[in-house]
Amino acid sequence: MEKRFRSCGPKRKFRASRLSHSMDLRTVTQSLVTLAEDNMAFFSSQGPGETARRLSGVFAGVREQALGLEPTLGRLLSVAHLFDLDAETPANGYRSLVHTARCCLVHLLHKSRYVASNRRSIFFRTSHNLAELEAYLTALTQLRALAYYAQHLLATNQPGRLFFEGDERVIADFLHEYITLHKGCFYGRCLGFQFTPAIRPFLQTVSIGLVSFGEHYKRNETGLSVTASSLFTGGRFAIDPELRGAEFERIVQNLDVHFWKTFWNITEIQVLSSLANMASATVRVSRLLSLPPITFEMPLTADPKVMVTISPPLAHTGPGPVLVRLISYDLREGQDSEELSSLGRSEGPRSLELRSRPQQAPRSRCLVVHIHGGGFVAQTSKSHEPYLKSWAQELGAPILSIDYSLAPEAPFPRALEECFYAYCWAVKHCALLGSTGERICLAGDSAGGNLCFTVSLRAAAYGVRVPDGIMAAYPATMLQATASPSRLLSLMDPLLPLSMLSKCVNAYAGGETEDHCDSDQKALGMVGLVQRDTALLLRDLRLGASSWLNSFLELSGQKSHPNSVPIAEPMRCSVSETALAQPESPLGKDSLKGLTLHDLSLRGSSETPDTPQLSLSAEARGHSTPSAVNILLRPEDASEESEAGDELSTKDRVYAAFPEGFHPRRSSHDAKQVTLYSSPILKNPFMSPLLAPDSMLQTLPPVHIVACALDPMLDDSVMFARRLRSLSQPVTLRVVEDLPHGFLSLAALCQETRQAAALCVERIRLVLNPPGPPV
């Protein structure tokens, strides 16, 4: 049974967490209803005052929503075990949704108990408690809507499936209903209520920084130079949770992928990355290398006498170098060679930490090839360097982290080509990296986990050595636009909201447009912008400190600047000319389009070519012009979509699942059209490995997955592990509780994240040092 990571918060919250685990759902609901009725009766007797009326109304609402929610949660929980990997791994989106709703109920239970005990006290903060109760009542209402959505998925989906498989118009209808729900309540006072208490201050800081940064961004102050000052201009967002929640909701719905790319790359700034590295382990080697685009050969695994040609990446931008970062706790043989030094690339004042040492350590028998996350659109190995240094120390093996090109400038399959090329180069030149290459592990998180699977699939298709194992932390294995119970959690997740996920997938699939940057920014490039921003940081700090004080004096009714009309931008071609000119796939044109998971599981190995010869852009075959599916209909668009909507029967419309009289809160923000792309490329197994045929998945080495129970991508891990298990492939799944997606980057934050990061290291160690056969 998976170990539960308990709260490291205050003693009162520890007791609350223990209570939530010891009380069953019905007991929690009944206790909450009893307290709500008592408080409702008390405040109803306090006269006609507005505050008393609102308090009585909020407790009446809590009673109504709790009684309406409990039966639906009970039905979901009664069948949730059918979707687990096994009895030892009780985890899937249905369980997570029930757990999240239960957390909200428990919080309201404790708040109701506090009100009942202190409502007569002269120190009772009426306004504060009323605001918190109203926020959590709204959250509970929205969670009730999600529970009905999950119940609808359960009733309409194929038995045992977490991802919806069926008419894409039904999916579009579902997502349309889902995305119009109000979300601001989850980003204000209720921010991160489902996570461990130690995470919540971090999430609050991120949310304040994001909305402040968004203000600069919408005023066309793009670039990283605004970041330092924006961190100090969020005073009013810190003291007004409702304002922060509303602005957060507006930002996540309306701003484009370039905003997220810029915001996530804040950690790439020299000063911030240096501060992060000061708290990490000290290593002897940390240097950036540039692998030249040179063709080389590798032996065929089945017949080492036959050589396979590995060509450099070509998709979209043509041949180009691939950047990698070598990290090693000890200076090992080969790492100070002239050949490796010739590949070094300067990073400025901290370009490398290689120091002279009288004696070198021998080459390690192991090597870890790491692929970072970031939604395919952001971050580099520098963002992940702090925990990679700890890995290098704990594992005693060199780590090669790949800095692949990012979307939307370099969409699929460029990142895959670069990661595959770097992996093959590392296998061939492991001696230069300080390893004998006896054991090689591929490791990655989020988007990097996706690339770990696809790199291994491509290595098997080429016939070259596959890694000895894969460790994937919270990986994305299904990029196709579809619904699942864990995806519903994106409504409240401040790190992975649905609109942001959609923008990242669209960018990776080639569906984003390029911004017309100023000529000076184009000339500078990202590295130049970072260098410029470092020089301006002290100025930003000075101005920002002043802005912080002034922000508390701003009037709440101050009018915002009107949004400028965006300039029409051309759509960038999402596929290179070379990829479009490729012949049909050996599996047949659009052979994977329209196949369900069940269909794919029935495809035998006979459908796989005997000689898998992939061109450099073979993953892009069948990449047709995506058809846009409008999942957020604006009023003026309704008439254009009415014909397609009429074809859907009443029983297929998701809102019909709501009982009579229940009306969840809808978003008050005007959101841009969120476009999901229905294209064969999204079903390509090199983009969505969950959709790979059995014959491809059977080529994978042992897989170790570490997932998060509250992650919108939990179902990706569960379904992928279930598919591998059904094929008798070696796979383990460990699910950590109460932590958000991306916990590896938060490894130093609290005990829970350190334990989760240690679990990832343990899984890698199983690959590098597999247990011997039982005696």
The neighbour count for residue 175, using CB atoms within 10 Å, is 23
pLDDT score of 660: 87
CATH number, domain with residue 257: 3.40.50.1820
> Is residue 426 domain-shared with residue 279, that is, in the same domain?
yes
User: For 621-711, where are the E strands, in sequence order?
Assistant: 627-630, 675-678, 703-708
Return the top range by mean pLDDT from 206-220, 229-243, 448-462: 448-462
- Give 407-419 as a DSSP string: TTTS-TTHHHHHH
Average pLDDT over the chain, rounded to an integer: 78
- Position 675 confidence tier, pLDDT thresholds 50, 70, 90: low
Question: Are 623 and 579 contacting, i.e. CB atoms less than 8 angstroms apart?
Answer: yes
- Between 160-169, 273-282, 428-437, 537-546, the lowest mean confidence (pLDDT) is in 537-546
Query: In the listed set 140, 161, 182, which residue is the last one of a domain according to the structure?
Result: 161
Q: Which amino acid would we find at residue 255?
A: L
For residues 463 and 4, give the distance between their C-alpha atoms in angstroms, rounded to a whole number. 41
Cβ-based neighbour number of residue 506 at 10 Å: 28
**What sections of 560-637 are H helices per DSSP?**
577-580, 597-602
**Same domain as 184, residue 88:** no
Residues 421 and 437 in one domain: yes
The per-residue pLDDT for 560 is 39
Higher pLDDT, 354 or 759: 759
314 in any annotated domain: yes
First to last CA, the chain: 25
- Is residue 397 in a domain? yes
Predicted confidence (pLDDT) at residue 226 exceeds the cutoff of 90: no
Q: Please state the domain count of the chain.
A: 2
732 strand-pairing partners: 704
Residues 197 and 277 in one domain: yes
Q: Is the model's pLDDT at 595 over the cut of 70?
A: no
Domain presence at residue 478: yes
Say if residues 407 and 512 touch (Cβ distance below 8 Å): yes
**Percentage of residues in the chain having pLDDT higher than 70:** 71
**Least reliable range by pLDDT among 13-27, 54-68, 315-329, 718-732:** 13-27
Q: Is the pLDDT of residue 514 over 90?
A: no
Instruction: Check whether residue 297 and residue 342 sit in a common domain.
Output: yes
Q: Does residue 616 sit in helix, strand or coil?
A: coil
93 and 223 share one domain: no
* The token pair that represents 475 in the structure block: 């990986």
Percent of the chain with pLDDT over 90: 54
For residue 722, pLDDT beyond 80: yes
Pair (152, 180) in one structural domain: no
Question: What's the pLDDT tens digit per position in 372-417?
Answer: 999 999 999 998 999 999 999 999 999 999 999 999 999 999 999 9
* Chain length of the chain: 775
Q: Does residue 686 form part of some domain? A: yes
Q: What are phi and psi of 198, to 5 degrees?
A: -65, -20
The pLDDT-based confidence of 274 (bands split at 50, 70, 90) is low
- Residue 358 preceded by cis peptide, ω within 30: no
H helical segments located in 157-199: 168-179
Which of 161, 189, 214 lies at the terminal end of a domain, its last residue?
Answer: 161
Give the pLDDT band (50/70/90) at residue 528.
very low
- Stronger pLDDT, 566 or 297, i.e. the higher one: 297
* CA dihedral sign, ordered 663, 250, 197, 504: positive
Model confidence at 218, pLDDT cuts 50, 70, 90, reads low
Q: Specify the pLDDT at position 275.
A: 59
Single-letter code of the amino acid located at 332: R
Question: Could you tell me the residue range of the domain that residue 441 belongs to?
Answer: 164-346+360-512+667-774
Q: What pTM, to 2 d.p., does this model score? A: 0.81
Mean pLDDT along residues 237-256: 84
Q: How far apart are CA 754 and CA 713, in angstroms?
A: 21
Report in angstroms the alpha-carbon separations of 329 from 103, 356, 360, 628: 42, 14, 12, 48
Of 767, 773, 774, nearest to 366 by C-alpha is 767
pLDDT over 50 at 615, yes or no: no
- Separation of alpha carbons 418 and 414, rounded Å: 6
Question: What are 144-157's pLDDT values in tens digits?
Answer: 999 999 998 898 88
For residue 678, the model assigns a pLDDT of: 60
Q: Which residue has better confidence, 160 or 455?
A: 455
The helix or strand, by DSSP H or E, that contains position 731, with its residue range, turns out to be strand 731-736
pLDDT attached to residue 405 = 96
**Per-residue pLDDT at 276:** 58
pLDDT reading at 248 higher than 50: yes
pLDDT at 262 over 70: yes
Residue with tokens 């690959």: 767
pLDDT at 337 over 80: yes
The answer as to whether 654 is a domain residue is no
Q: Which residues contact 338 (CB under 8 A, 6 or more apart)?
A: none
- Number of C-beta neighbours around residue 732 at 10 A: 17
Q: Let me know whether 149 and 186 are in one domain.
A: no
Q: How confident is the model at residue 243, as a pLDDT? A: 87
Would the pLDDT of 613 be above 60? no
Which residue numbers are catalytic? Answer: 446
Question: If you average pLDDT over each of 206-215, 356-365, 664-673, 724-733, which comes out highest?
Answer: 724-733
My answer on whether 157 and 194 are in the same domain is: no
Phi then psi dihedrals of residue 602, to 5 deg = -90, -10
pLDDT in tens, 80-136: 999 999 999 999 999 999 999 999 999 999 999 999 999 999 999 999 999 999 999
Does residue 12 lie in a domain region? no
Query: Could you tell me if 174 and 150 lie in one domain?
Result: no
The per-residue pLDDT for 692 is 97
What are the tens digits of pLDDT across the range 547-594? Answer: 333 433 333 333 334 443 333 333 333 333 333 333 333 333 334 334
pLDDT of 294 above 90? yes
Q: Name all contacts of 549-553 with Cβ < 8 Å and 24+ positions apart.
A: 549/235, 551/233, 551/234, 551/235, 551/236, 552/235, 552/236, 552/239
The answer to which of 353-362, 429-438, 533-542, 698-707 has the lowest mean pLDDT is 533-542
- 20-34, 488-502, 754-768: which has the highest mean pLDDT? 754-768
Structural domain contains residue 316:
yes
Lowest-pLDDT choice from 70-74, 144-148, 347-351, 625-629? 625-629
171 and 143 within one domain: no
Between these two residues, 598 and 745, which has the higher pLDDT value? 745
Whether 647 is covered by a domain: the verdict is no
One-letter amino acid identity for 45? S
Whether 180 and 137 share a structural domain: no
Answer with the one of 111, 145, 161 that is the final residue of a domain.
161
Q: What is the mean pLDDT of residues 639-665?
A: 57
Q: Check whether 596 has a pLDDT greater than 80.
A: no
Beta-carbon neighbour count of residue 495 at 10 Å?
16
